[in-house]
Structure formats: C-alpha cells, structure tokens
Amino acid sequence: MAGTKGWGRLAATAMMVSLGACQGSVSSSPEGVPVALESIDGAPAKVQTALIDELSNAATDRKVELVGSSAQARYRVRGYISTETADGETKVAYVWDVFDAQKRRAKRLAGSSPVSIGSGSISSIDKETLSKLAAASMDEIAEFLAASKSENPFQTAEASDDETPVAVQ
C-alpha cells in the first residue's frame, strides 16, 4: 500500500509540473486578448482595404483575435502608414498606436522598410509589400499582447466615436 501512495504522489507531482509547463506556454500566446482595429490613416481606401485583408491573415497566423471596431476589445489599434523617398530610395513606414480601456496609449509600434514602387506614392504599394508590412506589424502586436496578457487584468476598451471605424473583414 505504501508503494501505491508513492506512485500516486509521483504521478500528481508529474501532472502539476506538466500543467505548469502548459500554463507557461499559454501566457506567451496572444490568444484570448481581443483587439479592435479602429482606423488606418495615410492611405487611400483601396490600400486600406488590401492592408486590412493582409492584417487579418497575419493575425490569424499569429492567433491574434481581431474583432470589429464596435465589438468589446481589450485593446484598440489605430494605424498610420506613409511613404518617403530619400536618396532615390522609397520606404514605407508604419506606426500602430495601441490604446487600453482607459483610452491611454499602451504601446506605440513603428517601423519602416525599403520598397519598390513606381511613383513613390502610397497608392501604388503592391500586395507583397502590404503582406510584409502586415506580417511585421502583427509580429509586434502579438508580442505586445502576449506580454500584456499576463501583466494586466482583462478590461475592455470602448469603441471611440472620434474616428471613422475600419471594418475587419
């Protein structure tokens, strides 16, 4: 009987260690943290729509839960994209402001990348460039969400009336 109790304790200990390991991997995932994409400024409607499609694909790949702008969300994201040409090289730049439930900016994510676009205009950005921009953006957003998931209690960010919402498709 003493041997049986020993095995039971060993099994219980092993299960607790396994569950602890699982819990560690869950906290490094952005799953369960809904995010509303509210707006993308700086691009014409056609580019915004294409970028939203690419962001949605990238979000799915990274297990980021994008919700509509009128839905309950822990964070709300507003984006800005632009192009600039210097020394014959055109770059596309992006900024994502992530706001919490109190409408405070919780994080600003920014980056830029050289691109090949004919006119240097943002309206001529191709699907491949938008896909790369979306992937880089969602990598950073997913990393932020995963880190914040374990740090902050769940609160939702209310929809804002000051901007025209961007529908997630």
Dump pLDDT digits (tens) for 73-94.
999 999 999 988 878 888 889 9
- Alpha helices (H) in the chain, listed in sequence order: 2-27, 45-61, 127-151
Name the residue type at position 71.
A
b or e along 13-47 (b: 16 or more beta carbons within 10 Å of the residue's beta carbon)?
eeeeeeeeeeeeeeeeebeebbbbbbbbebbeeeb
pLDDT tens digit sequence for 17-62:
333 333 333 345 678 889 999 999 999 999 999 999 999 999 999 9
Residue that has been written with the tokens 């050289």 in this structure? 114
pTM of the model: 0.71
Across the beta sheet with 66-67, the strand order is: 66-67, 35-41, 75-86, 89-99, 105-115
